[in-house]
Every structure is written in structure tokens, then in C-alpha cells.
Chain A
């Protein structure tokens, strides 16, 4: 496996945090905020996303037919379609087109080096077209300003949409002053842009061939769509007489009407603009006259005498001097189409919203969170599909499964799932390592050998926690001992700077049994109901003892039990199997699949009896509500999803149905609280109920809008990601640190904040629990 060592990865990430993180964060977080605002201001955003998704599903489903349709349409227009199997095939074809064109020009008296101007295209980055053309002696100039900066700097894109996002204005000015030696040194963005416009303008007017990508290709009219803000793609397409568009086969959509939702949504998701400056829809060869700037006295309409007569010509073949080639690239895409797990990647419209919404991406950018070509969450699917699993393996672990990108993606791709699947495949393709024996005894998982020992450890955290609890406090003392921390770091990659969880000798399940189990709970609930004289809610709860609530954060479990009882609801806390969340986060899908089945079996009778499953840890609830759709039969998934709740959501429901909040610990109506929800809880739209409950109980909560706490379960424990985790966490900590009281719903969110701020950060339920629980 070609993965870097943990120390190597840590060094690389530290370097990116220092050199590129600031510029990336400024721009990516700004785009993300703008996207959020624009999504919220767009009434039919959900319909748009659903429609766009449906069109892509349909298009990919009948892709072979669409390829034939577009071939017919483009040929009828007078152009040529070439389907390239791979990068080499595509590059050779484009080089041929350029050479033939240049030979024709030489016949016409020109003997210059062949010259190509390009607009921004990730697909041509994927096939390294520029290098291939340069090897044939062809001059290639990027005309998108960001891409041109990279070309001058000999650098690579750090973002799908803003390729030079990692380079600051000052750095560009320095680069250009050194390279172009202007009379007056460049300083402002305005000066740099003017210079670039003039410099590139001359190159465009002299070029033999223009190369563009395509954001969408309408099959039945042969229309390529280019979405840009600068206008360079228009110039590249219209100025030289030969235009080559290079597009992945997945860019095909059936008809013009299918284009509408994409034109409507792509700028919203990419930058938060309502629409891009230029949506160029060309069915080339177009009627636009070719522009020959080396014959400045010739009318652009050709023969000046009757040039205008052709205005609006509709013969369908365009200007006779124009030549157009559409290169459709396979390069692994047709195999991705056959792959049930990777197929969704082909719906991607390359807007970069998954990158912008991702806390880790905002810190390191695409040079860290990216492979050979693509970056951000969706890059795992693209890289695995077009460059191979090794490229995806380099950065796939940077997806923590937080699901922030799920609501951002304009075509509703389950990007975290693609990351989980590829992680699982990478795990399975690895060679067994020498430390396997260390975790073998602890890990009753369903994984084959070769899995990284650290991943196996965290994936089986439930078993580890059970063993540690049984031997606490000795296990905690041992774990904190210096030599043990060194060994944990060496073997499992657990960073020694990170506080380890303190396992409790008495688990939540033990505590509940010792206080009389469900019989005692019924009694308490009845007494509370009698005291308040309120409505008989007639509900019963199975409180799910997730690993952390059961063995580590036992207090929040006790608070949940006592809160429910105080509101008149009897509780059971059975010893239930793990949810599979921990295994999923390590890419151990087979293990998670078994655990999901075991957990469903264990609660099936409760569900049949009409009991509600209430969950404290949001990530476990998210597994039940999201990933179980892929792991359980549909009826089982639906049944569990419909009857399982986040604890504060459930309390909200009880209060809405007549339960009496005065039984809880209430504030004075204005007591300020900073509340950090949990990434997956936000995706499930469950932040609002907690806020509502806090407000009903007399608090004045302010919610954080930081992307993530950075801890993400096991992520922040890992040696190679410790510093990145802290970098992300600091952004959250800065937002909440001034509040007197801070509460957080996720265990790891709370741990991260407690470490960074050195103070208690309880779960909201601990605040709300009846008097006496919190001190």
C-alpha cells in the first residue's frame, strides 16, 4: 500500500496548515456561507436538488444511448465526436487535431509553433492534457486566471472551482513581479487582473485552437454548456476557428429542458451566486464568424459585401470555417457506472460545495484533502474511479463522516457513504501488519486481516470499552502511564497529546439495574405523573446505551433516564449491541452490517410493543437513520427510523404533548448558553428541537455555526490528524469560549471543547435533568 507513514502524513498536514490553510479557509468558508444563504433564500431548492438528481440518475442509466444520440447531433451540426477510452487516447486525439489545424494554417502561410488556449477544465487536468500537448511541441496557455496563476507557478489545483485558492494575492503579486518584471510592481488584485487580461488577450487572439471543458452536454442537440464568470471560455470557444471540448461521458444529459435545473443550481451550490455570469450554450460549429486578428482589416463576417446576410443563418451547419470536436472521456467512468457503490459519483457536477462545507478541507485544502486531480469529499469516488484506489487511499481518511456535505451537494450524493465504501475497500486490499495480534483478541469483528490496527481498535471500541470498564480504574491508570501512551501511539497511532476517555467501573446499564431496573423506573414515572397531574402520555422508552454513554459519559445517560421519568415516562436500559457507528467510521462495513442486524433484532420486540427508542449520542442515531437504509431490509429500517429519537428531540415532543417542564431544571428565562450541536445531528435537522427545549426551559441558547468540532469520534485521537483536529476545533472554541455555560450534544464534541477550553462541557440533557443531577 502506497500510503504515507503516520509521521509523514502528520508532517504534510502540519505544512499545509501553516502554508495554505489560511487562504483556503478564508475563501472556502466564505463560499460555504454564501451557499447557505442562497439555499435558504431559494424557495424550491429541495425540488431543484431532487430534480437534478433524478435527471442524472436517468442519464447515467442510459448513457450508452446518450453517447450515440450526441454523436448523431454533433455530426448533423457539422462537428465530430470522439469517445476516448483513457487519458492517452484522449490526449493523442487532441494533439492530432491541433497538428492538423496547424498544418492547414501553415499552408495558409503561417509557420508558428502550434498554439492552444484553454479554459478551466478538471477533466483535462485528470488526463494531464497540457503535459501531453507540450510533449508534442504545442504551446498551451490556460486562460482562467486561477489556472494561469498555477501554470506560471508550476503548481496544481487545490480546489475544483477555485484552483488557486491556496495562493494569496500577495503571493501572486510576488510571483508575477518576479516572472514578468513590470515597470511598476504589481500590488492590487485590480492591477494583476488587468495585466492578466491584456497578456492572455493577445495569446487568445493568436491561438490556433481553443480547448474548453463542458459542465453539461445536451445529447439531443449536441449543445455543450460552459458555466463561467470571467468570459475566457467564451473567448476560447469563439475566437480560434477550431474548438475542442473535452468532457467526461457523465456530462451528458438527454435534452435541453433537462439543463434548466442545473443552470439554476450550479452557481448557487458552487459560490452562492444566483446564476453565473456566463452560461454559454453552444451547439458547435456555431454561426459566429471566426476572428482573424492577424488580418485586422478584414471584416469579421468574412466577405464584407454580403457578410451580414448570413445573420441568423439557421442551416444548422454553422460558419463553414469552423471546426468542432467533442472528446468524450471514459477513463474508468463506464466501470464506475457498473459499480453499485461508486455510480453516484457520476452524478457530481463538480461544484465544490462538498469541499467548501467540510471543516477538514477548510483547514488543509485540496493539496491535503485530494488525490491526483480531484479534491474534497467527492474526490474519493472520482480518484478511486479514474486513477485507482491508491490515489483515494492517500486522503480518504480526512473524511470524518460528519455529513456536512450531504445537505450541500446539489445532486444529493451520499458522499460520506462513498468514503466509507472506499475505506472499506482500501482496508481489504491491505497487507496484514505486524501489530494485528495486539487487537486480535479484542476485536470480534467481521473483517479480514490487513486492516490498520488503529482502525480496528477504534472500529471495535465497544468491546474495548467493555473490557476497560470491567478493569477500571486500573485500565485508566495503565492507559495514562507514559510507556503505555508511547506504545499506543506506536502501534495504534493514538496521539499521546490527546486525553484518553476515562472508563467508568459502573456502566449506565449496571447503574440502572442496581436502582431497580424497569420496575423502579415505572414507579418513579408514575409518581412524577401523579405529582404534576398532567396528561397521561402513555409512552415507554428504551434508552439506547451507546458505548460512550454506557462506559464513559455515564452521567448524561443518568440525566436522560431521570429527565424522562420526571416527565412521566418509564424507561428501560437494556444491554444492547453496538450500533455499528464506530465500525462504519473505520470503513468496516461487514462488521457494521452484523451489528445493525443484531441491534435491530434486540429491539424488535420493544418496537412491536410500541416502545420508543431514545438515543443520546447523535452519531449512533444517525447510523440508524441514514446508514441502516443500506444495511437492513427496508421495512426494518423504516420501522426503527420511525420509532427512534434523539433525547432532546424526544423531550421536545413530550413537552409539546403536555408534559410539565417545571419538573426539570429550568433557567430564569434569559440564562445565556452556548450550544454546539453535532454535525450529523444537524444533517438530521435535529438541532432545532434541542434549541426549542432549552428555550422552553428558560434558557437563552446561542448556537455555534462552526462546521465541526474537529474531533469526529476517533479522528482527533489519531497521531497523523491530531493537529488538524485541533485547528478545526479552535474555530469552534473561539465561537463559544465567552459563554458562561457551554453544552454540546456529541461526546467527542464535548471532549474536544473540554480539552481546548479546560472546562466542563456537558450534554444539554444534563443541564435539563431534575434538580440534583448537575452540581
Chain B
């Protein structure tokens, strides 16, 4: 998408205290390695020329998932307007990997960053038609005010980072 769309995405994420990093596909693995906190688990990245660093365990065991500090997953698309990433429920566990560890690192292709919720719903509908019909729109960090004050990182991650692949 346009630079403006990614800029808008970045501003929305700033408001949610979520970091955004732009990186080329060639440099992605190294960058991910630098920002993950170990132990880390992940779901494999479907972007051409991009793979997870060796320090990120794919196909984790339940014990590894429970112990992980970071979960790295691809997301189907992102909605710039709200700073939302769309986590798809895949058989390799992207949903629990994005949910259980304290930190979620979401990797998205720049071409998959859409401007607004309507465009997001178009993408969602395309995915539904292709059988990808379980998706979480995740926006910012898990939060609650139920204990009398706003606290982040309740059941879901208290830290979120987004990596935008500039050339994908």
C-alpha cells in the first residue's frame, strides 16, 4: 500500500504504545532475532525470502508455548486506521502463539496494510471465501481496568511489536 497508509498505521500504533519497524525481506530474520526476548516460539512466515531466525522455535510443544516470552506470527493483513492486525487461526498455532507469550511480534507485508476497517472487511471476506474463516482483529495490548486501574498484559500480551516488510 502507499507510504501514507503505513504512516497512518504507525501513528495509530503509537497511540496504542505498539512499536512498528519497517524492514526489507532480506533483513527481516535478523531484525526479528534482535527484538525477540527468549525463549521465543513462532508460526512459520509465509512471505517469500523471509524465515524465522533459528532462536524462534516453530511447532512448539505445549511446554515451550507456556514458557515462551515472545511469540512471532505472520498476520493476514493490518488495518491502518485503528492499528489492528488480523491473526488467522491456522493449524500451526498462530492464534495461541500470538496470545500466550507476554510479547507478540506480528509480521505483515506492506502490501497487506489496508487503510480502514471497510478495506479490512473486504480482505476478511476474501479470506473467508478461501476457507480462512477464523480471525482475530488484535489492536494493541491486552488490557483491563477491572482491578481498579488500567493494567496491560492481562490474559493476552502486554507488549506488541509490528514488523512491516517494505518489499512484500
Partner of A263, one of B66, B117, B147, B153: B117
Q: How would residues 254 to 293 of chain A score, 1 for a CB under 8 Å from any chain B CB and 0 otherwise?
A: 0011011001100000000011111111111011110111
**Cβ-defined contact, B121 with A278, below 8 A:** no
**Cβ-defined contact, A284 with B134, below 8 A:** yes
Partner of A286, one of B59, B61, B89, B149: B89
Known A144-B146, A145-B154, A238-B95; contact A281-B62, beta-carbon cutoff 8 A: no
Known A299-B60, A307-B91; contact A172-B155, beta-carbon cutoff 8 A: no
* Interface residues in A271-322 (C-beta closer than 8 Å to B): 274-284, 286-289, 291-293, 295-301, 304, 307-308, 310-316, 318-319
Chain A residues with CB below 8 A from B141, complex form: 277
Show 29 residue pairs from A and B whose CB-CB distance is below 8 angstroms, ordered by the A residue.
Answer: A144-B146, A145-B146, A149-B147, A189-B147, A189-B150, A196-B147, A197-B155, A230-B154, A238-B95, A260-B118, A275-B137, A275-B139, A276-B139, A277-B138, A277-B156, A279-B137, A288-B89, A288-B90, A291-B62, A296-B62, A296-B66, A297-B63, A298-B61, A298-B62, A301-B91, A308-B44, A308-B91, A312-B46, A312-B88
Q: How would residues 55 to 71 of chain B score, 1 for a CB under 8 Å from any chain A CB and 0 otherwise?
A: 00011111101100000
A86 to chain B, nearest CB (A): 30
Chain B residues with CB below 8 A from A284, complex form: 134
**Cβ-defined contact, B134 with A299, below 8 A:** no
**Cβ-defined contact, B131 with A315, below 8 A:** yes
Known A278-B136, A296-B61; contact A230-B92, beta-carbon cutoff 8 A: no
Partner of B121, one of A257, A276, A280: A257
Asked if A345 lies at the interface with its beta carbon under 8 angstroms from chain B, I say no
Known A145-B144, A311-B92, A312-B90; contact A300-B62, beta-carbon cutoff 8 A: yes
Chain B residues with CB below 8 A from A293, complex form: 62-63, 66
Given contacts A197-B153, A277-B143, A300-B59, 7 further A-B contacts (CB under 8 A): A231-B156, A275-B84, A288-B89, A288-B96, A301-B91, A304-B59, A319-B91
Residue of B nearest to A169 (CB): B148
**Cβ-defined contact, B146 with A286, below 8 A:** no
Asked if B165 lies at the interface with its beta carbon under 8 angstroms from chain A, I say no
Residue of B nearest to A170 (CB): B148
Chain A residues with CB below 8 A from B139, complex form: 275-279
**Cβ-defined contact, B92 with A301, below 8 A:** yes
Known A169-B147, A189-B149; contact A312-B91, beta-carbon cutoff 8 A: yes
Chain A residues with CB below 8 A from B95, complex form: 234, 238, 286, 288
Partner of A257, one of B46, B92, B125, B148: B125
Asked if A205 lies at the interface with its beta carbon under 8 angstroms from chain B, I say yes
Measured in the bound complex, the distance between the Cα atoms of B145 and A730 in whole Å is 27
Asked if B24 lies at the interface with its beta carbon under 8 angstroms from chain A, I say no
Measured in the bound complex, the distance between the Cα atoms of B99 and A182 in whole Å is 27
**Cβ-defined contact, B136 with A234, below 8 A:** yes
Chain B residues with CB below 8 A from A666, complex form: none
B53 to chain A, nearest CB (A): 17
**Cβ-defined contact, B91 with A310, below 8 A:** yes
Q: Which of B60, B91, B128, B141 has the most chain A CB atoms closer than 10 A to its own CB?
A: B91
Chain B residues with CB below 8 A from A188, complex form: 149
Residue of B nearest to A150 (CB): B146
Measured in the bound complex, the distance between the Cα atoms of B148 and A192 in whole Å is 9
A233 to chain B, nearest CB (A): 9
Asked if B142 lies at the interface with its beta carbon under 8 angstroms from chain A, I say yes
Measured in the bound complex, the distance between the Cα atoms of B156 and A143 in whole Å is 12
A interface, CB within 8 angstroms of B: 27, 143-146, 149, 162, 164, 168-170, 172, 188-190, 192-193, 196-197, 200-201, 204-205, 221, 223, 229-232, 234-235, 238-239, 256-257, 259-260, 263-264, 274-284, 286-289, 291-293, 295-301, 304, 307-308, 310-316, 318-319
Residue of B nearest to A143 (CB): B155
Measured in the bound complex, the distance between the Cα atoms of B142 and A299 in whole Å is 26
Measured in the bound complex, the distance between the Cα atoms of B138 and A295 in whole Å is 29
**Cβ-defined contact, A263 with B137, below 8 A:** yes
**Cβ-defined contact, B117 with A205, below 8 A:** no
Measured in the bound complex, the distance between the Cα atoms of B141 and A286 in whole Å is 23
Partner of A193, one of B88, B94, B132, B144: B144
A76 to chain B, nearest CB (A): 11
**Cβ-defined contact, B92 with A308, below 8 A:** yes
Chain A residues with CB below 8 A from B135, complex form: 281
A68 to chain B, nearest CB (A): 19
Residue of B nearest to A283 (CB): B133
Residue of A nearest to B117 (CB): A264
Partner of A281, one of B60, B134, B151, B155: B134
B155 to chain A, nearest CB (A): 4
Chain A residues with CB below 8 A from B65, complex form: 291, 300
Measured in the bound complex, the distance between the Cα atoms of B139 and A264 in whole Å is 13
B48 to chain A, nearest CB (A): 15
A319 to chain B, nearest CB (A): 7
Asked if B43 lies at the interface with its beta carbon under 8 angstroms from chain A, I say yes
Q: Which of B58, B96, B141, B154 has the most chain A CB atoms closer than 10 A to its own CB?
A: B154
Measured in the bound complex, the distance between the Cα atoms of B155 and A172 in whole Å is 19
Asked if B9 lies at the interface with its beta carbon under 8 angstroms from chain A, I say no
In order of increasing CB-CB distance, the 10 nearest A-B pairs are: A169-B148, A231-B156, A314-B131, A296-B63, A310-B91, A189-B149, A145-B146, A231-B155, A146-B146, A283-B133
B115 to chain A, nearest CB (A): 14
Measured in the bound complex, the distance between the Cα atoms of B89 and A257 in whole Å is 20
B83 to chain A, nearest CB (A): 9
**Cβ-defined contact, A256 with B121, below 8 A:** yes
Chain A residues with CB below 8 A from B121, complex form: 256-257, 259-260, 263
**Cβ-defined contact, B142 with A229, below 8 A:** yes
**Cβ-defined contact, A230 with B66, below 8 A:** no
Asked if B130 lies at the interface with its beta carbon under 8 angstroms from chain A, I say yes
Measured in the bound complex, the distance between the Cα atoms of B120 and A260 in whole Å is 9
**Cβ-defined contact, A301 with B142, below 8 A:** no
A102 to chain B, nearest CB (A): 20
Residue of A nearest to B44 (CB): A308
Partner of B89, one of A239, A282, A300, A316: A282
**Cβ-defined contact, A314 with B130, below 8 A:** yes
**Cβ-defined contact, A201 with B155, below 8 A:** yes
Known A149-B146, A257-B121; contact A200-B96, beta-carbon cutoff 8 A: no
**Cβ-defined contact, A286 with B134, below 8 A:** yes
**Cβ-defined contact, B142 with A281, below 8 A:** no
**Cβ-defined contact, B151 with A297, below 8 A:** no
Known A193-B151, A193-B154, A308-B92; contact A230-B60, beta-carbon cutoff 8 A: no
* Interface residues in B16-65 (C-beta closer than 8 Å to A): 43-44, 46, 58-63, 65
**Cβ-defined contact, B61 with A299, below 8 A:** yes
